[in-house]
Chains A and B, each alone.
Chain A
Amino acid sequence: MRLALVAVLVAAAVAGAIVVVERDGSGAPASASRSGGIALARSAASLPPPAAPAFRVGKPRLIDGHETRARSAPVARRAVAFAEPGGRGQAVATVEPTTEEGSTNIVLVVGETTLGGGSWVRVRLPSLPNGRTGWVPRRALGGYAFVRTHLVVDRAHLTATLLRDDRAVFRAPIGIGVPAAPTPPGEFYVRVKLAGFDDPFYGPVAFGTSGRSAVLTDWPGGGYIGIHGTNAPELIPGRVSHGCVRLRNEDIVRLSRLMPVGTPVTIR
């Protein structure tokens, strides 16, 4: 009789009527019909595979560890640039939203500070004397643009070198100003890129900088120093221009692919 009872109990346990709660190391189900693992597996078996996604996102794109070399911003509204942040010091210059050519006037941002009244930024000014900076309210400027490039013009060796992340990626011989109309030394930046004009004197493409001739102050358009091509490549390298930095046409085209507007320019 006892044996029959045991048999019934075993049969009942196997059938799942009695749940044996006993955990072994593997977590194997003690009873099939109450097994969550088996239920989950059965449920999973009736599901279709995931739909193939239309695209996959790649790896996260970290910014390079390199600092960006420079920051520029468009002038959003006319503003007075002051010698000190806060607008109380001496007025240094006025910046306008557009240039003489009708391009957006951009300024290189070289510093910033926050005062009670708001943020002020220190900008390199496209005015004489060369290398002048002034403080304008942040709200006078538009959104920042960042560049990793830096153009170094070497007047002694008559070369222009473009650095990207401090590594030279371009070098070419140049023509610079004659002694009577020299290319000014100092810190400048590229303001505008001009193309589609039909003037072989300037080559296929030309860059305007913030630099100005200290001697040709009555020059139409303000006497800005440009970086451009030439119809007299045989003069390069040499001291031959009215202050502009001239490159052979194949070199200026190559440079135009590597150097964005806003690139700082150092003329040594």
Chain B
Amino acid sequence: MTDPTVDPTLDELAATLADVDADGALQETAAAAFPGTRGAFLRRSLGTLAGITAGAVVAGEAAAAPVAATENDVAILRFDLVLEYLQAGLYTEAERIGALTPETLAWARVVGAHERAHVRALQDLLGRRTVPSPGFNYRDVTSDEDAFIKTAVAFEDLTAALLKWQAPRLDSRSIVAAAVTLHSVETRHAAWIRHLNGLSPVTSAFDKPASQERMARLIASTGFLTRRSRTALNARPRFTG
């Protein structure tokens, strides 16, 4: 991570996101991390509110008649999706580069497969309300064993804590029912990587929640979010022909 002792401010996160987020979708999502100052956050990052559009119907088994999801729930799910993009990307790159120890690579392979499945599930649920992945630069975290372990432990622990914070804040019980099925898997990931590295898999009888704001600060502190590359242009070629 760039500097774990620096606590990025709301301004820094807003600036980071304004820099990388072309269409405002990411800023809307990140604003959900700061519910009390959401309007201020969006003004800082110069984003515009995403329009409300009709979304996809959730597929699934027959139950009571479907009802509309709330903006609150959409914001929470979009935040989760960005977090899953980050983790899936981190573990995918680590596996592709293949420079970590066999044991850590085996962990990244299994856990990455889960995070990629989570990305797909959240994208499918959000439908037209989904957000695209930001660009990521993981620097040497995907090839340096110590940096990778530190980062993976931090993210798995904090993701589990985040999902605990979100669960009672979701309006939809059916989203709660789905979210808890992901939450317990994240706790397994956390315990597993701790166990592989001589850390205690569990440190307390009760695991505490952690807010979206706290997770947003962790994400900002990594410096992983980058501008997406512009490699497709509307421009006239000047090749030799």
Contact = CB atoms under 8 A, between A and B. Distances in A.
Contacts, number: 179
Interface string B45-59: 000000000000010
Given A54-B125, A60-B117, A143 B235 contact: no
Contact of B140 (A119, A216, A220): A119
A18 interface: no
Interface residues of A, number: 66
Given A57-B117, A57-B182, A226 B60 contact: no
Given A52-B61, A221-B239, A242-B241, A193 B233 contact: yes
A168 B117 CA distance: 29
Interface string B122-163: 101100000000011111100110000000000000000000
A142 B178 contact: no
B234 interface: yes
Nearest to B134: A143
Interface string B209-241: 000000000000000101101111111111111
A103 B117 contact: no
B238 A104 contact: no
Contacts of A102: 230, 233, 235
Contact of A142 (B95, B176, B229): B229
B114 interface: yes
A104 B230 contact: yes
B63 interface: yes
B175 interface: yes
B58 A226 contact: no
B143 A53 contact: no
A231 B154 CA distance: 56
B241 A241 contact: yes
Interface centre among B137, B229, B239 (most CB of A within 10 A): B239
A57 B240 contact: no
Contact of A194 (B140, B224, B234): B234
B199 interface: no
B177 A119 contact: no
A101 B238 contact: yes
Nearest to B142: A144
A83 B78 CA distance: 45
Nearest to A98: B230
A56 interface: yes
A14 B137 CA distance: 71
Interface in A36-73: 50-63, 68, 71
Contact of A63 (B92, B117, B182): B92
B240 A145 contact: no
A244 B233 contact: no
A53 B60 CA distance: 9
Contacts of A226: 237, 239-241
A197 B229 contact: no
B118 interface: yes
A202 B229 contact: no
Most central of A57, A61, A143 by chain B CB within 10 Å: A143
Contacts of A56: 60, 121, 178
Contacts of A219: 238, 240
Contact of B117 (A51, A59, A138, A208): A59
Contacts of B12: none
Contacts of B117: 57-61
A84 B144 CA distance: 21
Interface in A229-260: 241-244
Given A102-B230, A224-B238, 11 more contacts: A52-B174, A55-B178, A143-B137, A144-B93, A192-B232, A195-B232, A195-B233, A197-B235, A202-B237, A202-B241, A220-B238
17 contacts: A51-B174, A53-B177, A55-B58, A57-B117, A61-B113, A63-B95, A102-B233, A104-B231, A141-B137, A142-B137, A143-B137, A143-B226, A197-B234, A201-B241, A219-B240, A220-B238, A226-B239
Closest CB pairs A-B (n = 6): A226-B239, A221-B238, A196-B234, A143-B137, A60-B113, A53-B178
Interface of B: 58, 60-61, 63, 92-93, 95-97, 109-110, 112-114, 116-118, 120-122, 124-125, 135-140, 143-144, 172-178, 181-182, 224, 226-227, 229-241
